[in-house]
Amino acid sequence: MRIKNIEKTYSGEWVLIEDPRNNKRTGEIISGRVIAHSADRDEVYRAGLSAKPTSFAILCFKELDPGTVLVL
């Protein structure tokens, strides 16, 4: 699924993508297969632990509160 479709379909959620494809020039994720999604980040993390994908990305399509810090 293309990233724009993923963002539109799962707006407001965290999304676990298996086998993400990247733009070779920019490194930006352009597509992948959604294997989990939820408004709750921890649910997506747990799904990743049980699915054990070899290649994955976790994306957030939520509006974050001002002052929120993400640690990568």
- Per the CB < 8 A criterion, the answer to whether 52 and 16 are in contact is no
pLDDT at 60: 93
Q: Containing domain of residue 49, as a range?
A: 3-60
Whether residue 13 is contained in a domain is answered as yes
| Coil vs helix vs strand at 9 | helix
Q: Please tell me the pTM assigned to this model.
A: 0.85
pLDDT at 12: 95
Q: What does the alpha-carbon distance between residue 19 and residue 64 come to, in Å, rounded to a whole number? A: 26
Residue whose token pair is 């990743």: 48
For residue 22, pLDDT over 80 is answered with yes
Whether residue 41 is contained in a domain is answered as yes
Whether residue 69 is contained in a domain is answered as no
Q: Residues 23-68: pLDDT tens digits? A: 999 999 999 999 999 999 999 999 999 999 999 999 999 888 899 8
Q: What does the alpha-carbon distance between residue 17 and residue 6 come to, in Å, rounded to a whole number? A: 9
